[in-house]
Amino acid sequence: MTPLRIFISSVQKELATERIVLRDYLQGDALLRRFFEVFLFEDMPAADQRADACYLEEIQRCDVYLGIFGNEYGWEDREGLSPTHREFRKATELGKNRLIYVKGNDDTQRHPKMRGLIDEAGTALIRRRINSAEELIAAVYSSLVKLLEDRELIRFTPFDATFCRNATLEDLDFEKISRFLVLARRGRSFPLAENTHPKEVLVHLNLLDKGRPTHAAILLFGKKPQRFLITSEVKCAHFHGFEVEKPIPSYQVYKGTVFELVDQAKDFVLSKIDLWTGDRSQGIQVPTSYEIPQEVVAEAIVNAVCHRDYTSNASVQVMLFKDRLEVWNPGSLPPTLSLEKLKGPHASVPANPLIAEPMYLTKYIERMGTGIHDMIQRCKEAGLPEPDIRLDGGVWVTTIHRKTSIRQVTEQVTEQVTEQVTEQVRRLLAILKENELGTREMMEGLKLSHRPTFLYDYLQPALKMILIEMTQPDSPRSPTQKYRLTKKGRDFFSNYMEP
């Protein structure tokens, strides 16, 4: 962004200290120097140009005219006007933002023409009285911050409630909003009817700011959220060892809405960890169990995506190691919570409440403050150690420990077969052991929700290796299409997978 230019008026000797102190403050303040640059007449190098022409030219270039009026009126030209007076009138004529500060409360000591200039300024805009350089700095700071807020260059509302710059309603996917409406009505009895117009849904959820999409709206329902919020993506990596090291066997950067990010990252983890498959002795459906309960994986990821600091330049990172799963979330705890309080029931304090509400309505999260406590309990029930949670340099790290192995690969499997038949394909074969299943049934059996992950990592490799086949090969797109093991698939299962 091009900085806004401030023209500090008045060359009166009596105000030299205030002018220099103010310039130094504006150039040194961490916030204001990001948005403003200062023009002070004394800082101009010597040039073959009339002084009055120079400062009037600078008035044209500036965005803000900052006038400091004292007792002296200053040198007068042929028309009896001082440079300060001409500057003020030129700024008024050009419609510049004008901030006027008058030093002192006793006007009887002022030059008559300075009293006239102060009166002239008073009829056009509000002016502030100051008695010291410190008061001047405080008044100017307040005025410039308000100017930045009015121009929507800074915000004081929560990030998720602030409008997303350059985004319009055209950047939202109304079909996603309609699908959300169905899920919210089914999951939490959301009061709006299914035929409610998407814009009314956005209004109901407080996702519009003066008719413009907020950051929350883009993250929840945007066509391409990362176009506006680059670091809202989720990075997933799988390491065969215990530390971060190259080459990385599997690495994915997922983009999309917060719902899609959670689904994709969860499926990434579930596709890499061990899955135990039972038999039908306990019921019609074949029981399955992941080494890390899928609810724990989902909770860790959804917490990171929902409660992260979206103003951070870092992204959520999901890293799976041989002995643990780590989820890195940019952000910190609310002041009312501690790491110890997180482990028990506590008040729900979402970092992004406008994002959290739709995720609650679709049952991605609860809002009772029990998420971490539930993770601990489910890990204990699965025979896993309690998850570790720590704050590390502005990042909230959740570590979930893995079991050494639930299911060991049989010694008969050769290195070549292990290399060809991935863990994902093995799981698919286990699901189809005694069944003919459709796509949805297979995804449910594998507990996957992201269809592309299922197609690319499970179904297509198994078909390519002729381990499974279609029940209706002549009608591949049939809605009643199912899949089953081929003879090769049954032989592989019997030789290398059955205990």
Domain assignments of the chain as residue spans, ordered by start: 4-150, 159-228, 231-350+359-401, 415-497
| Residue range 252-311, pLDDT digits in tens | 999 999 999 999 999 999 999 988 765 555 555 556 788 999 999 999 999 999 999 998
Tell me: pLDDT of 45 over 50.
yes
- Position 284 scores a pLDDT of 54
Contact between residue 357 and residue 310 where contact means Cβ atoms under 8 Å apart: no
Q: What pTM did the predictor assign?
A: 0.63
Contact between residue 465 and residue 417 where contact means Cβ atoms under 8 Å apart: no
* 186-190, 248-252, 417-421, 442-446: segment of lowest average pLDDT: 417-421
- Position 476 scores a pLDDT of 84
288 is written with which tokens?
A: 């399955």
Describe the strand order of the beta sheet including 250-254 as a list of residue ranges: 250-254, 234-238, 316-320, 324-330, 395-401, 388-391
Fold of 415-497: Arc Repressor Mutant, subunit A (1.10.10)
In whole angstroms, give the CA distance from residue 347 to residue 331: 18
Contact between residue 177 and residue 168 where contact means Cβ atoms under 8 Å apart: no
Query: Which range has highest mean pLDDT (141-145, 223-227, 334-338, 343-347)?
Result: 223-227
∠431-255-198 over CA atoms, to 5°? 95
Note the Cα 196 to chain centre separation in Å: 28
Tell me: pLDDT of 236 over 70.
yes
Confidence class of residue 324 from pLDDT cuts 50, 70 and 90? very high
**Among the CATH numbers 3.30.565.60, 3.30.70.60, 3.90.320.10, 1.20.1290.10, which is that of 231-350+359-401?**
3.30.565.60
- Which CATH code for domain 4-150? 3.40.50.300
156 is written with which tokens?
A: 């004081």
Q: Are strands 324-330 and 316-320 parallel, antiparallel or unpaired?
A: antiparallel
- Position 415 scores a pLDDT of 40
| Residue range 72-108, pLDDT digits in tens | 998 888 899 998 999 999 999 999 999 999 998 888 9
Query: Which range has highest mean pLDDT (122-126, 161-165, 404-408, 489-493)?
Result: 161-165
What percent of the chain clears pLDDT 70, i.e. is strictly above it?
87
Contact between residue 217 and residue 208 where contact means Cβ atoms under 8 Å apart: yes
The owner of tokens 């030059």 is 111
Domains 231-350+359-401 and 415-497 share a fold: no
Contact between residue 311 and residue 159 where contact means Cβ atoms under 8 Å apart: yes
The owner of tokens 């799963």 is 325
| Residue range 49-59, pLDDT digits in tens | 555 667 788 89
